[in-house]
Amino acid sequence: MTTYGIQKTESINVIRVRLVIVHAGAIAAFFMPFDWNLVLLLAATWFPRMFGVEAGYHRYFAHRAFKTSRAFQFVLALLGASSGQRGALWWAAHHRQHHKHSDQAGDLHSPREGFWHAHLGWLIDKKNVDTNLDAIPDFARYPELRWLNKYYHVPMLLLLAGLAVGGANGWFGSNVSGWSAVLWGFFLSTAGVLHVTLAVNSIAHLRGRFGGYRRFDTEDGSVNHAWLAIPTTGASWHNNHHRYGAAARAGFAWWEVDLSYIGLKLLEACRLVRELREIPVEVLTEGGLVEDAGERAAA
């Protein structure tokens, strides 16, 4: 069996400095002259990148909840990398470890070690910097994914440059400058996407201490949070996910809005993805979703 070893990317100090710069830029965004086009730009750079993280990094690379072509899996990895949350192989390898030891010893971001460790501390811990490619051999075998995992900052910087050029040339409206486009479309968006993703590790693993509900009696502390569903494109239906993580859909009930699943269904219609794994009827029944279960059985 082929082994790939440990892939080193950059030092923990570089990562820490980058996080400081991103957050400083996010704060600076609020000191720019306000324009509604900036809100549109924020949404336009938030939701596609969040989709890249949730549908790409999480559901595809970590859980293999659907299938796609080699070319489109690279597109998903590229989109996720533009969010600044490291490469797809690093992200998915660490997430698989989380599911293997969820809220137990060995879980790299368990709230048992404190809220801030679960939210951000684990991310700036030196021991979590490198990628164990042998923990994700199914995708590490692709050289283009290994390259993007090592140089994940390239699409992120290209986005920053594109926003600067677009703002300077008035592409986003006459009142949107290059600086405001960068601060809102890159720094504020990047910080926002990062923190709502991290909130799934922290807030959504605290057994309801911050609200939410548990549909399934899982061994971990996972909780569903409706208020996080839109900004995370469905990642916050986390108790559902920990009950059956292989599904392409995290919102199990019809009213649990799951933008990533909607996006995946659209991509399926365009034949860019295929074989989306659905929730077994017995899992829906266990969760008290009898109507949903009956509809799926009939289908």
Inside any domain, residue 179: yes
Inside any domain, residue 204: yes
Q: What domain count does the chain have?
A: 1
Please give the sequence-ordered ranges of beta strands (E in DSSP) within the chain, or none if there are none. 6-7, 67-68, 131-132, 273-274
Inside any domain, residue 268: no
Residue with tokens 């909130």: 199
pLDDT at 291: 58
pLDDT tier at 94 (50, 70, 90 boundaries)? very high
Range of the domain at 140: 6-215
**143-162 burial code (b ≥16 CB/10 A, e <16):** eebbebbbebbebbeebbeb
d(CA 142, CA 249): 26
d(CA 221, CA 207): 5
What is the pTM assigned to this prediction? 0.94
Inside any domain, residue 264: no
Inside any domain, residue 265: no
pLDDT per residue as tens digits for the range 232-285: 999 999 999 999 999 999 999 999 999 999 999 999 999 999 999 999 999 999
pLDDT per residue as tens digits for the range 161-194: 999 999 999 999 999 999 999 999 999 999 999 9
Inside any domain, residue 275: no
Report how far apart, in Å, the C-alpha atoms of 35 and of each of 10, 39, 165, 190 are.
37, 7, 18, 19
pLDDT at 207: 86
Q: Is the pLDDT of residue 299 over 60?
A: no
Q: Is the pLDDT of residue 298 over 50?
A: no
Inside any domain, residue 269: no
Inside any domain, residue 223: no
Q: What is the mean pLDDT of residues 187-210?
A: 94
Report how far apart, in Å, the C-alpha atoms of 1 and of each of 134, 137, 141, 221, 274 are.
10, 10, 11, 36, 28
Q: What is the mean pLDDT of residues 1-29?
A: 94
